[in-house]
């Protein structure tokens, strides 16, 4: 049985992230899709290897967080390592320019089409 | 209350061409049916995870705030709907209590819009969420989750919520897929109308 996140040992999270608590930019959205560009290598940190295996197909940051049983902020740190190493790429959501910026009617039409097919 | 979901193998992966992640937030008080709604339309069993936030000094260089630095953890559920080869929509269930809002401000930046799920037995749970979404300029619809026959008309509910006329208010049964789907369609229809109205006229 997997440990609940609530009971997570802070020391373990510290070890996983190498003691880092934040990353520059914070540009990885919950729904940024991550894609592997390489296979895991021997000796790689197990969380890194697991991300690479999962992301053979595009996987959202928030899904990785649920899969790994790690808070989103910790997953962001792990992903920054992999992005820096060039072994994953990120497909970012469309930028929203301001809080009241609405998506284009064209995009919303696509969303409606998709929903109606449900 | 995060459950760490390890059955990746049991979950269908996204399409290889998936490129654009979109977000809609379902917000409401405890027990109103947020997860039920996410589950009824999601193509995957809802997953749960959590975010930790350092409350002081978030996004600002205020060194005086460091003294009061605390870490808060919030759990949330989500589901997923593949819209087409490139677009995938994530639905997040978010508790609407006041103390969580500074977290949602960050977690759900860039969301398409929100569904406020209302339990008429606990209307007060919805007031803060509605107020906050309006303040933020986040478009939303309000859905009354029906637990049995409604005792009030939607107009009465609109008055009780002090909800402006332009905000759609609908009934739903969050357990039913077609009903939850209709709520999402109502939200996107609303967004479409807002967005079309704002397009520059030629």
Contact A112 B52 (CB under 8 A): no
CA distance B183 to B168: 10
Residues of chain A in contact with residue B84, where contact means CB-CB under 8 angstroms, are 110, 113-114
H or E stretch at A88: strand A88-91
Q: Which fold has domain B18-55+70-197?
A: Rossmann fold (3.40.50)
Residues of chain B in contact with residue A22, where contact means CB-CB under 8 angstroms, are 54
- pLDDT > 90: what percent of chain A? 66
Chain A: nearest CA to B71, how far in angstroms?
A: 11
Residues of chain B in contact with residue A74, where contact means CB-CB under 8 angstroms, are 52
Mean pLDDT of A10-17: 72
Place of tokens 């409604």: B150
> A74 CB contacts (<8 Å, ≥6 apart)?
A13, A16, A17, A65, B52
- Mean pLDDT is highest, among B70-79, B130-139, B167-176, B191-200, for B167-176
Rounded to 10°, the helix A72-84/A61-68 angle is 110
* B8, B185, B189 member nearest A54 (Cβ): B8
Residue A43 has pLDDT above 80, yes or no: yes
pLDDT at A22 (0 to 100): 58
Place of tokens 């953890």: B73
pLDDT digits (tens, 9 = 90+) for A73-112: 899 999 999 999 999 999 998 766 555 578 899 999 999 9
Contact A58 B90 (CB under 8 A): no
Nearest 5°: the CA angle B198, B199, B202 is: 135
pLDDT digits (tens, 9 = 90+) for B158-171: 999 999 999 999 99
**Structure token digits, residue B134:** 């309006």
Q: What share of chain B is helix, strand, coil (3-state, %, to 5)?
A: 35, 25, 35
Q: Which residue does chain B place closest to A61, by CA atoms?
A: B21
Question: What domains are there in chain A, each with its CATH number?
Answer: 5-116 (3.90.930)
* B48, B138, B199 member nearest A105 (Cβ): B199
From its phi and psi, is residue B69 left (phi > 0), alpha (psi between -120 and 50) or beta?
beta
Strands (E), chain B: 20-28, 47-54, 71-82, 87-95, 113-118, 140-145, 169-172
Rounded to 5 degrees, φ, ψ at B33 are 115, 20
Are A62 and A31 spatial neighbours (Cβ–Cβ below 8 Å)? Answer: yes
ipTM (interface pTM): 0.85
* A67, A73, A113 member nearest B8 (Cβ): A67
Least Cα distance to B54 among B39, B65, B43, B40 occurs for B65
* A59, A93, A112 member nearest B185 (Cβ): A112
Confidence band of B30 (pLDDT split at 50, 70, 90): confident
CA distance B80 to B21: 10
Average pLDDT, chain B: 84
**Structure token digits, residue A53:** 């295996």
Are B166 and B138 spatial neighbours (Cβ–Cβ below 8 Å)? Answer: no
Mean pLDDT of B177-188: 98
- pLDDT > 70: what percent of chain A? 80
Q: Which residue does chain B place closest to A2, by CA atoms?
A: B4
Residues of chain B in contact with residue A108, where contact means CB-CB under 8 angstroms, are 112, 188, 191-192, 195
Chain B: nearest CA to A42, how far in angstroms?
A: 22
Burial class from Cβ neighbours inside 10 Å (0-12, 13-18, 19+) for residue A68 reads buried
Mean pLDDT of B62-76: 63
Residue B24 has pLDDT above 80, yes or no: yes
Please report the number of interchain residue pairs, chain A to chain B, with beta-carbon separation below 8 angstroms. Answer: 158
B31, B34, B35, B36: CA torsion to nearest 10: 90
**Structure token digits, residue B21:** 């992640």
Mean pLDDT of A37-42: 96
pTM of the model: 0.86
Chain B: nearest CA to A22, how far in angstroms?
A: 10
Q: Which residue does chain B place closest to A5, by CA atoms?
A: B2
pLDDT at B151 (0 to 100): 83
Q: Which residue does chain A place closest to B48, by CA atoms?
A: A66
- Provide the H-helix boundaries in B48-136: 101-107, 124-136
* A63, A103, A118 member nearest B195 (Cβ): A103
Are B68 and B56 spatial neighbours (Cβ–Cβ below 8 Å)? Answer: yes
Mean pLDDT of B170-174: 96
Confidence band of B66 (pLDDT split at 50, 70, 90): very low
pLDDT digits (tens, 9 = 90+) for B94-143: 887 777 776 677 667 889 999 999 998 888 888 888 988 888 888 999 99
A72 vs B99: which has the higher pLDDT:
A72
pLDDT at B73 (0 to 100): 81
A98 vs A63: which has the higher pLDDT:
A63
């Amino acid at each position: 049985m997997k440990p609940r996140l609530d009971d997570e040992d802070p020391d373990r999270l510290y070890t996983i992230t190498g003691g880092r608590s934040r990353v520059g930019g914070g540009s990885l959205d919950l729904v940024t899709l991550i894609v592997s560009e390489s296979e895991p290598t021997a000796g790689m940190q197990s969380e890194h290897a697991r991300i690479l295996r999962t992301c053979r197909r595009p996987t959202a940051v928030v899904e990785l967080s649920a899969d790994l049983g790690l808070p989103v902020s910790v997953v962001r740190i792990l992903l920054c390592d992999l992005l820096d190493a060039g072994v994953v790429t990120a497909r970012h959501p469309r930028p929203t320019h301001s809080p009241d910026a609405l998506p284009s009617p064209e995009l919303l039409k696509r969303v409606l089409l998709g929903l109606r097919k449900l | 209350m995060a459950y760490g979901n390890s059955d990746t193998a049991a979950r269908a992966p996204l399409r290889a061409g998936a490129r654009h992640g979109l977000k809609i937030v379902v917000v409401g008080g405890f027990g109103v049916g947020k997860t039920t709604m996410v589950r009824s339309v999601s193509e995957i069993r809802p997953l749960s995870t959590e975010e930790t936030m350092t409350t002081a000094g978030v996004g600002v260089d205020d060194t005086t705030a460091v003294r009061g630095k605390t870490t808060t953890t919030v759990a949330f559920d989500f589901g997923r709907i593949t819209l087409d080869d490139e677009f995938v929509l994530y639905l997040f269930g978010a508790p609407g209590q006041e103390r969580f809002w500074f977290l949602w401000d960050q977690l759900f930046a860039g969301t398409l819009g929100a569904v406020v799920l209302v339990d008429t037995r606990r209307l007060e749970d919805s007031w803060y969420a509605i107020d906050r979404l309006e303040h933020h300029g986040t478009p939303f619809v309000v859905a009354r989750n029906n637990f049995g026959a409604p005792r009030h008309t939607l107009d009465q509910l609109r008055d009780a919520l002090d909800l402006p006329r332009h905000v759609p208010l609908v009934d739903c049964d969050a357990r039913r897929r077609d009903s939850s789907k209709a709520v999402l369609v109502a939200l996107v229809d609303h967004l479409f109308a807002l967005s079309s109205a704002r397009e520059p006229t030629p």
